[in-house]
Structure 1
Amino acid sequence: MKEHDHMTKAFPPIMTQGIDEPCRFEGEVYDLEVAEGSVPTEIDGLLVQAVPDQAFPPEVNTLHPMTVAAGGDGTVRAFRFKNGHVDYRTRYVRTERFLLERQARRSLFGNYRDPFSDDPSVAGKSRTTANTALFFHAGKLFAAKEDGLPHEIDPQTLETRGAWTADGAVTSPTFTAHPKIDPHTGQLIGFGYAAKGETTRDIAYYVVGKDGKLEHEAWFEAPMAAMIHDCAATPNYTILPLMPVTSDLGRLKDGGPHFIYDPDMPQIFGVLPRMGGVGDVRWFRAPPGFTGHTVNAFEEDGLIVFDVLEADGNGFAPVITDRNGNVPPPGSVSTSLVRWRIDYHALSEELSDRTVLARVDGEGPHIDPRREMRPQRHVFVPTLDRTKLTTDKNGRPMPVLFNQLSHFDLEAGTQESWYPGPAATFQDPVFVLRSPDADEGDGFLIAVLNHPLERRSELVILESLRLTAGPVARLNLPMRMRLGIHASWIDGAFVPDWS
């Protein structure tokens, strides 16, 4: 087939919903316009966010919801803060998949984590889009998605430097987008699940030194083939929470979705010493619950204390259904900040020491990075206040995911939030410390705020411990920002000044 015989057609209607239709755009805006307030001059660093942005219309007969929500090609959205100015840049991650499709000028890869739906010409090629999260380690910036290897990104130009293997030491084809970095040793604790192929139970576990060299590797099997999206670490232990989202090779071969929600699956936490091997892993179990993103973990009185967001139903609805194709009604699933206490040496692997610290109804928690692996008081989360949901002039629900930025003070037992109005929705914020010696949690929250009905976005900066006061600065973004996934903050001491 000649190249011009396959013209790029329009995206299917399900992918062109308002502000979140594909952007397919690379570029920069130098010196963003400050519409209100002023950018605090002490903010110096780089806000980076991973954004799925489909480069070519998909060519599968049945498009799964997860493909629409999280299947797009990875782009890096970056804002460089310096001396009261903010510059913006966005660029696609040049994964093998992206380059193959760009060369073909069409989509070659099918549904989310489904190699059986791909064009035969790309069999055996890397399917990852590196579209979920970014992390910074050993002086390098990485874009990652858990179905493949992280890709190194130049923090100044956003050029892709290639897939990362720690100089060939990481042999797993998959690696988490949520590794943990020990702020005291500089070690990176990471893992890949489905490490011997999609739907396998194999886990490859890695500890990488602050110099980027591999220090430890262990391979073991999980009790079942389930998503392990996030992890947690203490100075001595690592926790791998299995989510009630399971995969099955037969279902995948039959054209079904990669993941389904299993409401009957217990919560399962794999726990091992940081430098532990296959014989050291213990699989602790608890009654069913939807384990979301981890908040933090530390050790106290000989126990592992594990703080995590937990939903009381399908936390991935509507993009993942149960085995019958059902999703819960909108607004029926709530999330809480839950604290588990785990005795690694206990005779029983049944967990019961669980405390609800706060009702959250949000996802994507952030804490003061100096408190990682130590007890934390302040937690910042984008949340949803359902009492403030409204409809548009046609009676349709507002396209709002999170309508507040919230601060939870675990010591005082309080919640403080900023609500920007009925037709605004937050993307993942970052926490920025005011100064190296500031009190815990004292700094800024910075987030992209979308106005879907107006198809516009802005960047807002709030003081983290004074959220109800509203933004100290609002910056106009001259283009819509389709929904990204995770955002991270890198201190300016570690990244070059763009100017």
Structure 2
Amino acid sequence: MDIEVLGRAISTLPADDDHPYRTGPWRPQTVERKADDCVVIGELPTDLDGVYLRNTENPVHPAMSVYHPFDGDGMVHVVGFRDGKAFYRNRFVRTDGFLAEQEAGRPLWAGLAEDPAKSPTQTGWGARGRMKDASSTDVILHNGVALTSFYQCGDLYRLNPTTLETLGKSDWHGKFPGDVGVSAHPKLDEHTGEMLFFNYSTRAPYMHYGVVDARDNLVHYVDVPLPGPRLPHDMAFTENYAILNDMPLFWEPEALQAGKYAARFHPEIPTRLAVIPRRGQTSDIQWFEGAPTYVLHWVNAYEEGDEIVLDGFFQTDPEPPAGNGTIYQRMFRFLDNELMGPKLHRWRLNLKTGRTKEERLTETTTEFGMINGLHGGRRHRYTYAATALPGWFLFNGLVKHDLDTGREEHYSFGEGVFASETAMAPRIGSTGEDDGYLVTITSDMNRDLSECLVLDARNVADGPVARVQLPERVSSGTHSTWAPGSAIPGWGERDDAATAIGL
């Protein structure tokens, strides 16, 4: 394995750092590396072709007072596969905030758990002023370019999907909604090439929904009026509709008026789901009500007769009790899946009657569900989700949910080994929904190393068919995506990707 250092970030984190989310599995990286023709344990399938991209919260400066793990700077990792070989890169996303703080040599923005007044740049809410837009939440591929996003609405930063060079921000030919930005999880329809998105803010109408076509043109953008400021995190879509939400976990209005952002769950208020035609107007929105909860992540949605079938993770306790623990235990209880109890859940929204039917799909606590991307907006049978270490925001296992039979197939990464969100990569010429591979990056605390694991999606419990060794133990991360080589410009030519794996 040939390893080259691409760059280093200037870090001011203390050498004796003891923060629980900046040490151990969350130890941040400061060095950017590339590794060509990586060492592989086992045998990489030759019909695995494309890149696994994963975003990471990776801090380089301490907080002004209290650090929250979502405050870290965006760092993207890529593992590329072609002809049975693999390459690796990791690069910081060159956001405006990252560059400004590198120049200043100190933090310039207050974090999620800090007083907004501590931000000398504070002019608004979220990443539009109150917080640094770290672009550290999700990553997708649209129009041949990797896009990174931020969970409280920000810019979409454009990256080369093989070199991870930052290419600037999405502009959409001058129509990007810069006053509000884009929320954490824009959605790609792999059949049309369209990207669907929403944003939200503290100003009426509080939410917007939009569509960007396959050529990066903003072709649709409408208001989605809400009763007040809300905290939606994710959305879903079908072939003909988009589904947005108004959940009863939101900022306390009285605190918000005082400039404080305190989220509270209101169990007396129902969940509301908005169904809008993909190119529909505000007047076309049809609202459905359901049991009170909070859904951090949706899995997928599809049409079945008069109904929209919507799958997501229903939190049984969206606001766990604070208790008498340490400040970290109180603050990070919203990161503990064991406490919040997300369960795979199904909502059936009848477009003719306006009624909602709900059912629990499993009693297993899982989250961060992924599917075969070709089934996005279409009927799906399988969901690949993560189990979490109790008390921590760490993924310690993988579950394949068969939604037709109710069968579950489990795989544990082992004690002290933690994975990223696991993407499904259809094999070249695949003929079935689970005909492909599962790909994830692990942080192994026992051996002080990281690997990219490749599993057979049809035989999850058998464990990895191949392990790609990475040049450094990487910080634990979350969201990821799979991009087939066919979606990457120049992938079939002698480009950087080909050079990296020795072609």
Name the TM-score, length of structure 2 as normaliser: 0.85
Corresponding residue number in structure 2 for 1:450: 443
| Structure 1 stretch displaced more, 246-255 or 267-276 | 246-255
Structure 2 Cα separation of the partners of residues 134 and 325 of structure 1? 26
Q: Are 2:56 and 1:51 equivalent residues in the alignment?
A: yes
Corresponding residue number in structure 2 for 1:215: 219
Corresponding residue number in structure 1 for 2:291: 287
C-alpha change, 1:152 and 1:229, in structure 2 (3 Å) is same
Structure 2 Cα separation of the partners of residues 254 and 332 of structure 1? 29
**Which amino acid in structure 2 is aligned with residue 214 of structure 1?**
L
Q: Are 2:463 and 1:470 equivalent residues in the alignment?
A: yes
Q: Are 2:170 and 1:160 equivalent residues in the alignment?
A: no
| Structure 1 stretch displaced more, 250-259 or 240-249 | 250-259
| Structure 1 stretch displaced more, 217-226 or 8-17 | 8-17
| Aligned 8 A contact 2:320 2:333 in 1 | no
| Aligned 8 A contact 2:337 2:365 in 1 | no
| Aligned 8 A contact 1:109 1:117 in 2 | no
Corresponding residue number in structure 2 for 1:70: 70
C-alpha change, 1:332 and 1:101, in structure 2 (3 Å) is closer
Matches within 5 A, 1:39-438: 39-60=44-65, 63=66, 67-112=67-112, 116-120=116-120, 127-146=132-151, 147-171=153-177, 172-194=179-201, 198=202, 202-248=206-252, 251=255, 256-257=260-261, 259-314=263-318, 327=333, 331-346=338-353, 351-384=355-388, 401-438=394-431
**Which amino acid in structure 1 is aligned with residue 454 of structure 2?**
I
Q: Are 2:481 and 1:488 equivalent residues in the alignment?
A: yes
Could you report, residue by residue, the CA deviation over 1:188-220 in whole angstroms, capped at 9, with x for unpaired residues? Answer: 2111111xxx57652121111111112111023
- 1:138 is displaced (CA, Å) by 1.9
C-alpha change, 1:331 and 1:185, in structure 2 (3 Å) is closer
| Aligned 8 A contact 2:306 2:352 in 1 | no
Could you report, residue by residue, the CA deviation over 1:128-179 in whole angstroms, capped at 9, with x for unpaired residues? Answer: 1111111111222211114202111112321211121311112242202322
Structure 1 Cα separation of the partners of residues 135 and 393 of structure 2? 25
- 1:488 is displaced (CA, Å) by 0.4
**Which amino acid in structure 2 is aligned with residue 403 of structure 1?**
N
| Aligned 8 A contact 2:371 2:423 in 1 | no
Structure 1 runs (4+) deviating above 6 angstroms are 315-318
| Aligned 8 A contact 2:51 2:162 in 1 | no
C-alpha change, 1:142 and 1:375, in structure 2 (3 Å) is same
1:32 to 30, 38, 45: 38
**Which amino acid in structure 1 is aligned with residue 361 of structure 2?**
L
C-alpha change, 1:244 and 1:456, in structure 2 (3 Å) is farther
- 1:257 is displaced (CA, Å) by 4.5
**Which amino acid in structure 2 is aligned with residue 38 of structure 1?**
E
**Which amino acid in structure 1 is aligned with residue 32 of structure 2?**
E
- 1:423 is displaced (CA, Å) by 2.5
Secondary structure, counterpart of 1:472 in structure 2: strand
- 1:266 is displaced (CA, Å) by 2.4
Structure 2 Cα separation of the partners of residues 483 and 73 of structure 1? 13
C-alpha change, 1:312 and 1:121, in structure 2 (3 Å) is closer
Structure 2 Cα separation of the partners of residues 207 and 298 of structure 1? 18
Could you report, residue by residue, the CA deviation over 1:203-244 in whole angstroms, capped at 9, with x for unpaired residues? Answer: 121111111112111023222322111111112211112344
Could you report, residue by residue, the CA deviation over 1:23-81 in whole angstroms, capped at 9, with x for unpaired residues? Answer: 222222222222x3111111111111111111212223xx1xxx522111111111111
| Structure 1 stretch displaced more, 487-496 or 446-455 | 446-455
Structure 2 Cα separation of the partners of residues 316 and 158 of structure 1? 38
| Aligned 8 A contact 2:57 2:137 in 1 | yes
Could you report, residue by residue, the CA deviation over 1:239-293 in whole angstroms, capped at 9, with x for unpaired residues? Answer: 1123443124753676754534444442221221111222222332212122131
**Which amino acid in structure 2 is aligned with residue 176 of structure 1?**
S
Secondary structure, counterpart of 1:19 in structure 2: helix
Q: Percent identity?
A: 28
C-alpha change, 1:291 and 1:228, in structure 2 (3 Å) is same
Corresponding residue number in structure 1 for 2:23: 17
The unaligned stretches of length 5 or more in structure 1 are 1-5, 390-396
Structure 1 Cα separation of the partners of residues 11 and 57 of structure 2? 23
| Structure 1 stretch displaced more, 112-121 or 10-19 | 112-121
Corresponding residue number in structure 2 for 1:393: none
| Aligned 8 A contact 1:407 1:465 in 2 | no
| Aligned 8 A contact 1:308 1:339 in 2 | yes
Name the TM-score, length of structure 1 as normaliser: 0.85
Secondary structure, counterpart of 2:224 in structure 1: strand
| Structure 1 stretch displaced more, 70-79 or 167-176 | 167-176
| Aligned 8 A contact 2:109 2:120 in 1 | no
The unaligned stretches of length 5 or more in structure 2 are 1-9
| Aligned 8 A contact 1:305 1:339 in 2 | yes
- 1:327 is displaced (CA, Å) by 4.4
C-alpha change, 1:122 and 1:308, in structure 2 (3 Å) is closer
Structure 1 Cα separation of the partners of residues 378 and 365 of structure 2? 24
